[in-house]
Amino acid sequence: MITPVILSGGSGTRLWPLSRAGYPKQFLPLTDDSSLFQLTLLRLAGLRGSAAPLVVCNDDHRFLIAEQAREAGVPLSAIVLEPAARNTAPAIALAALKAQQSGEDPLLLVLPSDHVFSDTPAFHAAVQAAVPAASAGQLVTFGIVPTIPETGYGYIRAGDDRGDGSFVVDRFVEKPDLATAERYLAEGGYFWNSGMFLFKGSVYLDALARHSPAMVAACDAAFRAARDDLDFCRVDKASFEACPADSVDYAVMEKTDRAVVVPLAAGWNDVGAWPAVWQVLERDAEGNAGRGDVLLENSRNCYVHSSTRLVSLLGVEDLVVVETADAIMVMHKERAQDVKKLVDRLKASGRSEATLHREVFRPWGSFDSIDEGHRFKVKRITVKPGERLSLQMHHHRAEHWVVVSGTARVRIGDAEKLVTENESVFIPIGAQHFLENPGKVSLELIEVQTGAYLGEDDIVRFEDRYGRA
């Protein structure tokens, strides 16, 4: 039995302004109408011997994971929440402990949540080719057959052919310069390091205990003290925060004598930066690709993404232009690796655009901050059918709700009422209140906040069906 383990902890800063910490690239429909995370789930359909996937993610994204899996129609076996970022080695350890909780020891197919493939059957074939080695106790990594002398990836040098579809790993190589990458391609026997693996959970934990015992001890303690929270497995925060942080490559794969590599040629792309998005999309005769309302004239080899308005380019080439509701980025494709510098500057200046979109998603729906000024803020709020905001109060702001469509059930203090289209209610400072959508269609309303402080942290929750009280 193969248990897919989807790692969903990345923030995708090189794809800013579309990818942000609050809504990173794996949840975005960058190459398809489905998000990268959903494509990862859907890619598993038809994989022989595969069970329901297990996802490891951070706490902030738990409802996004659950909702996108539901939309994709893919049931999950578990969603394990990391209370702190500790890189891939501890995340896989938690997945291995969870997968073995029932007493079984399945093969774990470890996959990042944000990669794309153009050839799913070839991906399935490579996984099946790796099963004999993994079943025999080897730690299998998948090496991407290189097509260009890429300098942005680490490489794996293959050694002896084991005769079972795998090769002994001779060594892992850091990202090379161009001349070295060209030599690797000419010599053959080198593969891009994909960050995908297949191994037994017990074999991985044994190897991790041998090379990083403190990590295994911390993960084991965190998992033993885990508790169920709705549909999520919430491991112990204090124990996991004591865990060393390291990647699976450094913690295990570069140290073990059980590492083997299985070649994979399936049109793989890690979609790590904007030129990679341009590469996987269909391009016009001039080499341009785009999504949204885009108009290009006399321009070549450009990528344009429009979220809210018309974006036009005239007489330019090799540019990336990304437009969102609150930010526009224009860059030359050769500077794609420097996008993180922009994000770092935004963070240093305390700008919310570094981490949040104007539209922020919550388990009950979303809100879009339309306007803001001195002592006021205006939001458009969408509440999904049957969902409810927490029973809460605010110390510094009053709120005025105007229902645009749908029906709201509102409690203010001890009084409850239904509010329908074109009706409004006022919530004074300090009043306990909640908002619920009792209907079958989405509830849309405008919220006007007024007060001395309008930050999102001015909230005291008394009851909450999503475990946030």
> pLDDT tens for residues 284-332?
999 999 999 999 999 999 999 999 999 999 999 999 999 999 999 999 9
pLDDT at residue 63, as a whole number = 87
pLDDT at residue 337, as a whole number = 87
- Rounded to the nearest integer, the mean pLDDT of the chain is 93
pLDDT at residue 398, as a whole number = 96
Q: Are 403 and 424 in contact (CB under 8 A)?
A: yes
326: CB partners within 8 A, 6+ apart: 17, 353, 357, 358
The mean per-residue pLDDT over the stretch 347-363 comes to 89
List of domains in the chain: 2-264 (3.90.550.10), 283-340 (no CATH), 359-462 (2.60.120.10)
The mean per-residue pLDDT over the stretch 58-76 comes to 91
What type of residue is 423?
Answer: E
CA distances from 174 to 208, 250, 439 (A): 21, 11, 56
Q: Name the band, by pLDDT with cuts 50, 70 and 90, for residue 74.
A: very high
pTM value?
0.87
**What tens digit of pLDDT does each residue of 402-459 get?**
999 999 999 999 999 999 999 999 999 999 999 999 999 999 999 999 999 998 889 9
pLDDT at 347 over 80: yes
| Percent of the chain topping pLDDT 70 | 100
Token pair 């965190």: residue: 222
Residue 403 main-chain phi, psi, to 5 deg: -80, 125
For 56, the 3-state DSSP assignment is strand
pLDDT at residue 255, as a whole number = 94
pLDDT at residue 359, as a whole number = 86
| Percent of the chain topping pLDDT 90 | 86
**What tens digit of pLDDT does each residue of 304-315 get?**
999 999 999 999
What residues are paired with 383 via a beta bridge? Answer: 365, 443
Choose among 466, 457, 292, 456: nearest CA to 367.
456
Choose among 165, 138, 168: nearest CA to 156.
168
Q: CA torsion, points 274, 176, 93, 95, in degrees to nearest 10?
A: 30
Token pair 């049931």: residue: 75
15 or 231: which leads in pLDDT: 15
Q: Are 351 and 385 in contact (CB under 8 A)?
A: no
400 or 469: which leads in pLDDT: 400
pLDDT at residue 269, as a whole number = 92
Q: Are 7 and 56 in contact (CB under 8 A)?
A: yes
Q: Are 212 and 251 in contact (CB under 8 A)?
A: yes
What type of residue is 91?
Answer: A
pLDDT at residue 456, as a whole number = 87
pLDDT at 137 over 80: yes
Token pair recorded at residue 234: 């919430």
Token pair recorded at residue 259: 């590492």
Calpha distance 346→307 (Å, rounded): 21
Q: Are 176 and 156 in contact (CB under 8 A)?
A: no
Choose among 320, 195, 325, 365: nearest CA to 269.
195
pLDDT at residue 152, as a whole number = 86
